[in-house]
Chain A
Amino acid sequence: MSAEQHIKLPEGSIEKTTTTLNLGPTHPATHGVFQNILELDGERIVSAEQTVGYIHRAFEKLAERRPLYQITTLTDRLNYCSSPINNMGWHLTVERLLGVKTPKRVDYLRVIIMELARISDHLICNSVVGVDSGAFTGFLYVMQYRELIYEIYEEICGSRLTTNMGRIGGFERNFTNAAFEKIEKFLAEYPAVLKEFENLFNRNRIFMERTIGAGPISAERALNYGFTGPNLRAAGVDYDVRVHTPYSSYEDFDFEIPVGSTGDCYDRFLVRNGEMWQSLRIVEQAYRKVQDMKGSEAEIFHADAPAYYLPEKKDVYTKMEALIWHFKIVMGETEIPPGEVYQSVEGGNGEVGYYLISDGGRSPYRLHFRRPCFIYYQAYSELTKGAMLSDAIIVMSSLNLIAGEMDA
């Protein structure tokens, strides 16, 4: 439908036939700061232009100043809904550069944490899609279980959101019994909650009519736009970094990849729900595997890499070698091989990549984050062409755009 059908302007008129609507950068709190300038013809969107960068915090420049072990705090703040995944991805990158091999127990513990983080990310996204279509209850209901995930993080690293979890080579301390009890509690109670959340939304007529057909994308266009993660899987391509290039012993686990067909908001919602079920499966399997490890194997929580993993504080105060290693690691005099490495992990939004160029010094020469949100937000104008304004809102929230990851 074109503007000429409805509005006839005289020749030489400077008026436009479309309305310009500025959506953002401040819009209802839940999304983050990015701007869309929409040209509307009545209720339909003719074109959309995005502006990002309202929270550009210069992570890449900042990383050139920080030693490798301090960059974990920066990676937290990329996709802050699932910050442990970013942390683990960074540790894997550095471990690949340094040639550090982590023991199985560390891998399984990392898998538990990453999958819990994935559940927490998808919970935010799906409940916010609900809020944007008018259903606030789902959000309040699942946030309770996000609080339980936060308590699990607190038991392990002390912090709820920006976790800075783990160290290069493993974790900073073994998981406590309290952490394991909370993980068990989560595994016992969460499936019922997810079932109820699905009952509220999956076959809900209003929700289905809002989301089916909103912002579809074909698999070829999605691949060309560099989509990864649930958005790509909703379009029908089963690309998952955990399966294609397994890291952290993901090949030991048995799980499926939910895939959609049309790539619209409803498919994305269902794919995320499906992924939460699969994540739950993986956490159960990993938890079993960790509990089955007995004796001294159950005490391992880091790799044997004294050149990169800080020794225990009591050893630093009593033993000479530990003191020397501690000094060397902090002052940056350990052997860091020069070279370049690219490592990717499956984050909540897709392939989070770390391109690290090291020149042998304590900080990277260049660190680049491959941020999925930044890459697929470009497709927004294509996704919303011809859609109605309310669909534009739903598409924006179903893409799970995290501003921290977009602007870095």
Chain B
Amino acid sequence: MALTNETIKERLIAKFGDEVSHFEEPYGFLTFAAPKELNLKVLQYLFDDEELRFQFLTDLTAVHYPDQAGRELAVVYHLHNLTDNIRLRFKVYTSIAQPDVFTATQLYSSANWMERETYDFFGINFVGHPNLKRILNVDEMDYFPLRKEYPLEEQTRVDKDDAMFGRGALPAAANRGTIETPRHDREARVPASGTPGVEQGKQDWPTDTTKV
């Protein structure tokens, strides 16, 4: 019998009970979440089980949801069963105050640099990682750039005038605190997956370009 999303879901619920939750299938891709303490157990189970055999880690990344208190950072694992050709998405949520997640490097060697990249961008501390330091940014950088509160542009540059680019008032000196940029001072919008409530699209461009 071919492996289907239903079977995987049943096996997971049979093994982990109600620890695994938020089962969804956006665009046919089975997605679920589990508490962060269980991430290695779930990954190990998916790896070892003879029927499930998710032995290829396609991708490991994170997403920042600033408005879900206590669950701001989501670590997302994309797994692939190459023999039966099924993909799976597994999410663990952690709070931004204490972003500790167990590392998957023992199981998948490819997780090594992917976790370093996730640490570099979001600040998630992977417990047990052999070499958790910044990989893509300069080592001296003291903030985690892909978090939503930080702007895209470098704040110390003096040659490009933000007002000309429609980006409100930004201080000239480096200010790494919570910078209100027009992109982010709307109400929060989070996608359907994993959290209740959906915000429909609001306009993306700044409304007030007169601030200099």
Contacts and interface: CB of A to CB of B under 8 A. Distances in A.
Direct contact of A and B (CB under 8 A): yes
Interface of A: 52-53, 56, 58, 60-62, 64-65, 67, 96-97, 221, 223-226, 237, 239, 244-245, 331-333, 336, 338-342, 344, 351, 353, 355, 357-363, 365-366, 368, 370, 374-379, 407-408
Contacts of B76: 355
Contacts of B112: 378
A341 B117 contact: no
B78 A353 contact: yes
Contacts of A353: 58-59, 78
Nearest to B117: A374
Contacts of A331: 203
Contact of A360 (B64, B113, B145, B189): B189
Contacts of B198: 338, 360
Return the 5 tightest CB-CB contacts between A and B, nearest first: A226-B110, A360-B201, A53-B136, A359-B189, A56-B136
A102 B204 CA distance: 28
Given A224-B108, A224-B109, A339-B191, A355 B26 contact: no
Given A338-B191, A365-B191, A58 B110 contact: no
A341 B27 contact: yes
Interface in B197-212: 198-204
* Size category, B interface: 35 or more
A363 B183 CA distance: 10
B164 interface: no
Contacts of A362: 201, 203-204
Interface string B155-185: 0000000000000000000000000000100
Contact of A375 (B85, B110, B146, B204): B110
A226 B58 contact: yes
Contact of A374 (B26, B55, B113): B113
A340 B201 contact: no
Given A336-B201, A363-B204, A223 B63 contact: no
B110 A378 contact: yes
B101 interface: no
B29 interface: yes
B110 A340 contact: no
Contact of B89 (A342, A359, A374, A377): A342
Contacts of A363: 204
A96 B27 contact: yes
Contacts of A368: 59, 61
Nearest to B183: A65
Given A339-B193, A359-B199, A58 B152 contact: yes
Contacts of A351: 58
Contacts of A58: 145, 152
B38 interface: no
A246 to B, nearest CB: 11
30 contacts: A56-B136, A61-B145, A67-B204, A223-B55, A223-B56, A245-B85, A331-B203, A332-B201, A333-B201, A338-B199, A338-B201, A339-B193, A340-B191, A342-B29, A342-B87, A344-B58, A353-B59, A359-B189, A359-B191, A359-B199, A359-B201, A361-B201, A361-B202, A366-B63, A370-B78, A375-B110, A375-B113, A375-B114, A376-B110, A407-B136
